[in-house]
Amino acid sequence: MAKMTVIYKTPQDKDFFEKHYFEVHVPLAKQLPGLLKYEINDGPVVSTTGHADVYRIANLYFESLDAMKAAFSSEIGQHCAADRRILAGNEDVQIYLYDTQNT
């Protein structure tokens, strides 16, 4: 399984972020071809390593990295990526793509 982890810094306008995130971005992302699961944090994010500016964490699951790449190469994937830039610029978000394994 492959996973995308998206970490958003605290937005300047939390009300705008929340409204757009839940009314536009999440419904759009849930249309990604091959998306198996979409999860976000529920409540504050607490860091044990001193990172105090984390606001929202999202995890998107796909069957493989190839399936994830195909999803974001699709029309809906391109639209989703463009919409993310409405929520946060590159300096306000971290995105990680990786394979997972059960141990």
For residue 8, is pLDDT > 90? Answer: yes
What are the backbone dihedrals phi and psi of residue 16, each rounded to the nearest 5 degrees, phi first? -60, -45
What tens digit of pLDDT does each residue of 22-33 get? 999 999 999 999
Q: Has residue 98 got a pLDDT over 90?
A: yes
Q: Angle, to 10 degrees, between the axis of helix 65-73 and the axis of helix 75-87?
A: 80
For residue 23, count CB atoms less than 10 angstroms from its CB and return exposed for 0-12, middle for 13-18, buried for 19 or more: exposed
Summarize pLDDT for 43-93 with one digit per residue, the tens. 889 889 888 889 999 999 999 999 999 999 999 999 999 999 999 988 999
Quick one: average pLDDT of 34-39? 97
Chain-centroid distance, C-alpha 88: 11
33-53 burial string, b = 16+ CB within 10 Å, else e?
ebbeeeeeeeeeeeeeeeeee
What pLDDT, on the 0 to 100 scale, is given for residue 44? 86
